[in-house]
Amino acid sequence: MLKKYDDHYLKLKLIFERTIELIDTYHPDEIAIEAPFFGKNVQSMLKLGRAQGVAMAAGLSREVPITEYAPKKIKMAITGNGNASKEQVAKMLQSMLGLKTIPKNLDSMDGLAAAVCHFYNEGRIEVGKSYSGWGAFVKQNEDRVKK
């Protein structure tokens, strides 16, 4: 776990390296992630956004297309309810995928939920934002890029 490290930049480096390692090991065709959401704790949002950014950078560096899904869209795809709780999403994934147990940390199910959502939405590009490389990301997000 990353909790044992105090240096936030080291944590980001480790996330990047581990994501590269996973990509190089499993050779995914695509990556699906949960889009950033707005919360009350600005510091938590900033840290999550940075972590998502380095994971996206790792995928883009290996030219793996990335699709983002809004949290409500993921919940809707899994449970049929965009306002479902983490527990409801986890239970539905357990049932759908025949998982014997659910992890204590339900946050770890978020990636699995995004992947299942992406599977259900395959071929429907309009449901998320897809990027095939840095150029595509910049072109689709010109308002987010400083010049």
Q: Annotation-wise, does 7 bind a ligand?
A: no
Active site residues: 34, 107
Both structure tokens of 42 = 């600005």
Kind plus residue range of the DSSP H or E element containing 31? strand 31-34
What letters, b where the CB count within 10 A reaches 16 and e where it falls short, cover 89-119?
bbbbbeeeeeeeeeeeeeeebbebbbbbbbe
Q: Annotation-wise, does 34 bind a ligand?
A: yes
Q: Which residues are annotated as a binding site?
A: 34, 107
Q: Which residues are annotated as a binding site for Mg(2+)?
A: 34, 107
